[in-house]
Amino acid sequence: MASGSGTNFEALVNACDNGQLKARVVQLVVNNPGCGAQSRAERLGIPWNLLDHRSHASREALDQALVNCLRSRSVDLVVMAGWMRIVTPVLIQAFEGRLLNIHPSLLPSFKGIDAVGQALAAGVTLAGCTVHLVCEAVDAGEILMQAAVPVMADDDHASLSARIQAQEHRLLPAAVALLAQRLHQSQG
């Protein structure tokens, strides 16, 4: 699931293609028509679906449409890779323990929108990213993996974001592999 440029989506596809991640991306769902993630899916030959949040009466209605879409593709594990929408129990419960998110901060610090801006405003010397399971509280689920980057004295939003994003691309496939292994072990 993606809302923006889709770099984390492409990192997952590449990790699958090069054998780093023994998985297959079967579907991309975007909520913004014409977003970069949609273009990446087309270029990479990955099926995609648009579920525009503006076309749904409520967050719950959007999440039910997501559940229906993902189940129709027999999805085992769902990755929120830059999904800029708060999800509801409708989606969380349908994929409980199988829904993960990547967030550009070292949680539990700087939850929610513009975590990079929050980190810069707070004057921290260390920032980073976190992959966590999704629960009903925003950015509060079980942490699976984290990566830290130093905040440089001359950093601005763009430069710090770029360093964090490089770590996201490395961390997200590893966290998906970890969760998949955990799910496999619990089933057998």
Would the CA dihedral through 75, 27, 35, 55 be positive or negative?
A: negative
103 counts as catalytic: yes
Q: Are 6 and 39 in contact (CB under 8 A)?
A: yes
The amino acid at residue 102 is I
Q: Are 90 and 69 in contact (CB under 8 A)?
A: no
At 114, list the tokens: 């513009």
At 105, list the tokens: 């901060």
If one counts every other C-beta atom within 10 angstroms of the C-beta of residue 78, the result is 23
Q: Which residue among the candidates 53, 56, 103, 132 is catalytic per the annotation?
A: 103
Q: Are 132 and 142 in contact (CB under 8 A)?
A: yes
Cβ neighbourhood burial of 172 (10 Å; 0-12, 13-18, 19+): buried
Q: Are 88 and 112 in contact (CB under 8 A)?
A: no
At 167, list the tokens: 């770590």
Catalytic residue numbers read 103
